[in-house]
Chain A
Amino acid sequence: MSKKRTGVFVCHCGTNIAATVDVARVAKEMADENTVSFTQEYVYMCSEPGQESVVQAIKDNELDSVVVTCCSPNLHEKTFRDNAKRAGINNFTCEIANIREQCSWVHNDKAKGTEKAIKISRSVVRRVNRNKPLEAIAVNVTRKAMVIGGGIAGIQAALDIANAGIEVILVEKQATIGGRMLQLSETFPTLDCSQCVLSPKMVEVKRHPMVKLMTYSEVQDLTGSVGNFQVKVLKKPTFVDPDKCKICDHCTEVCPVVVPNEYELNLNARRAIYIPYAQAIPASFTLDESACLGLNPVVCGKCKDVCEAGAINYDMRPEIVTENVGAVVVATGFDLYGQENMPELGGGKLEDVLDGLQFERLISASGATKGHVLRPSDHKEPKEVVFIQCVGSRDPAKHCAYCSKICCMYTAKHARLYKKHVPDGRAYVFYIDIRSGGKGYEEFVQRTMEDDDTLYLRGRVSKLYRHNGKVRVLGTDTLTGQNVEIDADMVVLAQAMVPSKGTTEIAKTLKIGRDKDGFLAEAHPKLRPVESVTAGIYLAGAAQAPKDIPETVAQAGAAASKVIALLSQTTLSRSPLIAKVRPSHCTGCGMCVDACPFIAIRLENGKAVVNEALCEGCGSCSATCLRAAIDVKNVTQLQIHEMIEACLA
C-alpha cells in the first residue's frame, strides 16, 4: 500500500472551538503525522470559502483522503464527504473528528482541551489511513408510505402524501380517526368549530383512492431500513363489519353493559357496543371485547339478534397484516399529565375539578351535556369557574420542566366560551406568565381579559378541596401579595401535555429516540425538525413536542414533503459500511452467524458469506470472530486498535 496523502482541515467554528482549543497547535501536531501531507485551519470550514478551500486543497496537493476536525459528524459529515467527491476523490475516505461537542464545548481548560483535541484528531487521522474507497449501495425504493396516528397530524400528512400520487396506509389505534382535535369544541384564536374544520378532512382521507385506512389497529413490529421497511400491523377485531353496519343504533339499545365513555373523557357512559362519535370514520359500531359479556350467543348475543344488517360477527379474530413501505410518519399525539400526580389539587378525585379536554367536551355541542355548561356533580350551571394554568408544566422540581405551549391560549378560549354560555358567570384564571406568541393570539387573550371581564390572577394555586358543595381554591396573587380564597362551582386544570400512552413502546418498535421528556426526538433541533434519528422515519404533531393545531398541520406538511422527496427517487443509496469476510482467515466456525442480529450471515462451503442487502454494519460479527476474519468496512479491528493507540499517545 502506497503511503496515504491525507489533508487535515481544522475548523475554529468562530470561537466555539478556538476559544478553548489551540487550533494552530492541533494543525501543527497533525502535520507531524506520517500520512498527513497538508493541513489548514480556517474560521468557518463549513462556509462556502471554507468548503471551496477544502476542494482546492485536495486538487492542488493531490490528497487522497481528508480529515475535518470540527463539530459532530451528525452535522457536517455529509457536507465534507460531498466536497471530497466534488474534488474527485472517494467520499468514504473523508472522516470527521469531533472536537466541538466532544471537546471544546465541555472543557474550559485550554491546555487540557487542546491535548484531548489532538488525541481525537490523531485517532481519526490514523483511522483514515486505512479507509478504503467505497461506493454507496443502491437499493430500490418501495413507493408507499405509512402514517401512524390518525389525528390531525396524521390525517394531514396522509393527505399531502396521497395527493402527490403516493399510496399511504393510515394506521389508527382507536375505532375512529380524528384524534384529540375531534374532542375539541372550538379552536383558538378564531373560535372555529373544531369538528367543522376536521370532519371534511376525515371524509377526504377516507375517500382518497391512494389512502388505505386501518383503524383499531396497532403497529407491532418494524424491520428493514429506509426505502424498504416491513411493518407488522395488528388489526384488532371490531366484531362489526363496517361495510354492513348501518349505524342504526339498535344494538346499543339492547346492550346491557355500561362502561365509562373514554371519548367523552368519562363524563358519560357508553355501551359495550358503541360508536365513539356520531360522525366517526369509519362509520361503524365497534364491540369492545374487554367490556362485552362474552361474544357468545349463549351468554348474551342481544346485539347480534337485533342487527338487521347482519353486521355483527362474533367470530372475528385479531389479524396481523404485513405492509411494505418506503417511509413512515409517526404522529401519535399527546395525553394530559395525570391529575393523580397532584394530590394538592385533588389528585383526580375531587368532584367538579375537570381537565381541559373534559371542559372541551362539556362545552361541545356534541358533548355529554349537548353543549350546556353543567357541572358534573349536580348538573347545575356553575356561576364561578376557576381556570388554573401551568398545572404540571414549568415545574422542574416536581413535574414537567417544559412549557406546554398551548395552555395559555386554550384557557383564554375556555374562559371566553364559558362566558358565552353563562353570561352572568365569573371566570378566574390563575397564571404564571401569559405566553401568547402567534398570529392573532395576544389580541385574543387581551379580549378575554377586557371584553369578557375575566379576572386574571398571577400566581399558583396551593390547594383545592371540597367545601360546602363547592371547590375551595387557595392561591396567591403575587402582584398584590395577597392570599386568595375562592369558592368555585367548578375548576378547570390546564394540565401539561405529555407524549401519548404507548409512545415509549412505539419508539422502541421503530427504534427512534425520545428526548428527556419522553417526546419523540428530532434528528436536529433546528435543521432537521421533522426527521427522527432513523432515516426514513419522520415526525409530526404533538408526539414530537407540545404544539397547537396550525403548527401541527405545518409540521405534518413538512414531514409529508420529506416523504414525497424520498419516495420520488427510484433508488436510494445505502451506507456501504457493512461486514466483509476475509475467506483466507475464515474457518467456518459459524460464531458470526449466531451473533448477527439481522440474519445476514450464512455459511457457504465452510466459509461465512454476508448478505449485503441485509447487513446493517453493526459489527457484532467482527467482535465475535476469533480470527479477525470478518470486519466492518472502514471500521476494521486494525483501525480501532490504531485509534486506541493514538488516544493514549
Chain B
Amino acid sequence: MSEQQAYEPKVVAFLCKWCSSAGSDLAGVSRIQYPPNATPITIPCTGAMSPMYILSAFNKGADGVLVSGCHIGDCHYIEGNYLARRKMHLTMELLKFIGVEPDRFRMSWVSAAEGAKFARVVTDFVNDLKPLGPQDKLKKVVAHD
C-alpha cells in the first residue's frame, strides 16, 4: 500500500494553444491547485496531434498521456479537433491491441474559460492512473529491441 502511495504517475499533457492551454492559464490565474504530475506541451491545435507523439511518450516512459483541445465545434482552426477525435479513437484501439491499458490515454475538451475543469481533468486522470501502476509494456518492448 505504501508503495502505491509513493508511486507518482508521469504524464505528458498535450494542450492546444487556443483553448486548453489558455484554460490551464486560467487555472493558474485562479490559483486552483492540482497534482504536478502532468507536464504540459503546447501545440497549435489538437489536429496537429500525431498518434506518434502518444506512442513516443509511452516509449519514453510516460505512465499516461493527456490530449486536451477546444470543445467540438469551437476549434480555432475550424475542424482540427474533429480530426483529432477520429485519430485519438484509433490510437486508443491501437493501444488496446498492443496491450497498453487504454485508460492510460485520455482526451478532454477544455475551453479557455474552464480553468476549474482543467484542474479537475488533470486531478481525475492522475487519480485514475495510480491504480494502474507504472507503464512498462511499451517501454520494455523498445528496450529489448
Chain B CB within 10 Å — which of A106, A115, A511, A645 has the most? A106
Complexed CA–CA distance, A635 and B87 (Å): 19
Q: Are B29 and A577 in contact (CB under 8 A)?
A: no
Kindly list chain A residues whose C-beta atoms are within 8 Å of the C-beta of B22. 74, 513, 533
Complexed CA–CA distance, A136 and B6 (Å): 48
> Do A623 and B49 form a contact, CB below 8 Å, given A105-B31, A107-B33?
yes
Q: Are A521 and B28 in contact (CB under 8 A)?
A: no
Q: Are A618 and B73 in contact (CB under 8 A)?
A: no
> Do A597 and B77 form a contact, CB below 8 Å, given A644-B53, A645-B60?
yes
Residue A72, interface by CB 8 Å: yes
> Do A617 and B34 form a contact, CB below 8 Å, given A74-B25, A647-B39?
no
Interface hits, A117-136 → B, CB 8 Å: 119-120, 123
Q: Are B34 and A622 in contact (CB under 8 A)?
A: no
Complexed CA–CA distance, A648 and B62 (Å): 7
Interface hits, A444-487 → B, CB 8 Å: none
Interface range, A side: 35 or more
Query: Given B29, B52, B74, B87, which contacts A637 in the complex, CB threshold below 8 Å?
Result: B52
Kindly list chain B residues whose C-beta atoms are within 8 Å of the C-beta of A617. 44
B140 to chain A, nearest CB (A): 15
Interface range, B side: 35 or more
Residue A432, interface by CB 8 Å: no
Complexed CA–CA distance, A622 and B50 (Å): 8
Q: Are A103 and B36 in contact (CB under 8 A)?
A: yes
Q: Are B47 and A623 in contact (CB under 8 A)?
A: yes
Kindly list chain B residues whose C-beta atoms are within 8 Å of the C-beta of A112. 36
Q: Which of A94-102, A421-429, A552-560 contacts B (4 or more CB under 8 A)?
A: A94-102
B128 to chain A, nearest CB (A): 19
Complexed CA–CA distance, A534 and B17 (Å): 12
Complexed CA–CA distance, A497 and B53 (Å): 45
Q: Are B28 and A106 in contact (CB under 8 A)?
A: yes
Residue A515, interface by CB 8 Å: yes
Kindly list chain B residues whose C-beta atoms are within 8 Å of the C-beta of A115. 36
Complexed CA–CA distance, A632 and B33 (Å): 33
Interface hits, A611-649 → B, CB 8 Å: 616-620, 622-624, 632, 635, 637, 640-641, 643-645, 647-648
Q: Are B36 and A514 in contact (CB under 8 A)?
A: no
B11 to chain A, nearest CB (A): 9
Q: Are B36 and A632 in contact (CB under 8 A)?
A: no
Residue B95, interface by CB 8 Å: no
Chain B CB within 10 Å — which of A102, A119, A516, A640 has the most? A102
Complexed CA–CA distance, A647 and B35 (Å): 15
Query: Given B18, B29, B56, which contacts A105 in the complex, CB threshold below 8 Å?
Result: B29
Residue B48, interface by CB 8 Å: yes
Kindly list chain A residues whose C-beta atoms are within 8 Å of the C-beta of B53. 640-641, 644
* Nearest residue, chain B, Cβ from A514: B113
Q: Are A632 and B48 in contact (CB under 8 A)?
A: yes
Interface hits, A62-117 → B, CB 8 Å: 72-74, 98, 100-103, 105-109, 112-113, 115-116
Residue A420, interface by CB 8 Å: no
Residue B104, interface by CB 8 Å: no
Q: Are B80 and A119 in contact (CB under 8 A)?
A: no
Q: Are B36 and A107 in contact (CB under 8 A)?
A: yes
Q: Are A508 and B73 in contact (CB under 8 A)?
A: yes
* Nearest residue, chain A, Cβ from B116: A516
> Do A644 and B57 form a contact, CB below 8 Å, given A619-B48, A623-B49?
yes
Q: Are B39 and A632 in contact (CB under 8 A)?
A: no
Residue B32, interface by CB 8 Å: yes
Residue A595, interface by CB 8 Å: yes
Complexed CA–CA distance, A624 and B79 (Å): 14
Complexed CA–CA distance, A109 and B33 (Å): 10
Residue B40, interface by CB 8 Å: yes
* Nearest residue, chain A, Cβ from B76: A511
Kindly list chain A residues whose C-beta atoms are within 8 Å of the C-beta of B48. 618-620, 622-623, 632, 635
Q: Are A619 and B25 in contact (CB under 8 A)?
A: no
CB contacts between A and B, total, < 8 Å: 143
Kindly list chain A residues whose C-beta atoms are within 8 Å of the C-beta of B35. 107
Kindly list chain A residues whose C-beta atoms are within 8 Å of the C-beta of B1. none
Complexed CA–CA distance, A539 and B112 (Å): 17
Residue B111, interface by CB 8 Å: yes
Q: Are A116 and B57 in contact (CB under 8 A)?
A: no
> Do A648 and B61 form a contact, CB below 8 Å, given A120-B40, A619-B47, A623-B48?
yes
Q: Are B83 and A595 in contact (CB under 8 A)?
A: yes
Complexed CA–CA distance, A598 and B52 (Å): 24
Kindly list chain B residues whose C-beta atoms are within 8 Å of the C-beta of A119. 39
Kindly list chain A residues whose C-beta atoms are within 8 Å of the C-beta of B60. 644-645, 648
Complexed CA–CA distance, A641 and B49 (Å): 11
> Do A620 and B25 form a contact, CB below 8 Å, given A120-B39, A597-B77, A635-B43?
no
> Do A108 and B33 form a contact, CB below 8 Å, given A72-B25, A516-B113, A521-B113?
yes
Complexed CA–CA distance, A512 and B33 (Å): 27
B121 to chain A, nearest CB (A): 13
Query: Given B32, B49, B76, which contacts A106 in the complex, CB threshold below 8 Å?
Result: B32
Residue B12, interface by CB 8 Å: yes
* Nearest residue, chain B, Cβ from A623: B50
B5 to chain A, nearest CB (A): 14
B129 to chain A, nearest CB (A): 14
Q: Are A102 and B24 in contact (CB under 8 A)?
A: yes
B90 to chain A, nearest CB (A): 12
B111 to chain A, nearest CB (A): 7
Q: Are B112 and A521 in contact (CB under 8 A)?
A: yes
Q: Are B45 and A637 in contact (CB under 8 A)?
A: no
Q: Are B24 and A618 in contact (CB under 8 A)?
A: no
A583 to chain B, nearest CB (A): 20
One digit per residue, 1 when the CB lies within 8 angstroms of any chain B CB and 0 when it does not, for chain A 208-236 equals 00000000000000000000000000000
Q: Are B12 and A647 in contact (CB under 8 A)?
A: yes
Query: Given A103, A120, A623, which contacts B87 in the complex, CB threshold below 8 Å?
Result: A623
Residue B138, interface by CB 8 Å: no
Q: Are A637 and B36 in contact (CB under 8 A)?
A: no
A17 to chain B, nearest CB (A): 11
* Nearest residue, chain A, Cβ from B50: A623
Residue B132, interface by CB 8 Å: no
B48 to chain A, nearest CB (A): 3
Q: Are A620 and B77 in contact (CB under 8 A)?
A: yes
Complexed CA–CA distance, A112 and B9 (Å): 13
Complexed CA–CA distance, A577 and B56 (Å): 24
Chain A CB within 10 Å — which of B12, B48, B62, B78 has the most? B48
Complexed CA–CA distance, A648 and B134 (Å): 13
Residue B114, interface by CB 8 Å: yes
Kindly list chain B residues whose C-beta atoms are within 8 Å of the C-beta of A514. 111, 113
Q: Are A620 and B83 in contact (CB under 8 A)?
A: yes
Complexed CA–CA distance, A120 and B28 (Å): 15
Q: Pull 8 A–B residue pairs with CB atoms less than 8 Å apart, ordered by A.
A: A98-B40, A100-B28, A101-B24, A511-B76, A597-B78, A618-B76, A640-B53, A647-B62
Task: Mark B residues whose CB is within 8 Å of A.
Answer: 10, 12, 18-19, 22, 24-29, 31-36, 39-45, 47-50, 52-53, 56-57, 60-62, 73-74, 76-80, 83, 87, 111-114, 119
Contacts A515-B113, A618-B77 known; 4 new A-B pairs at CB < 8 A: A106-B32, A107-B34, A107-B36, A623-B48
Complex A-B, nearest 6 residue pairs according to Cβ-Cβ distance, in ascending order: A619-B48, A101-B28, A620-B47, A618-B77, A647-B39, A105-B28
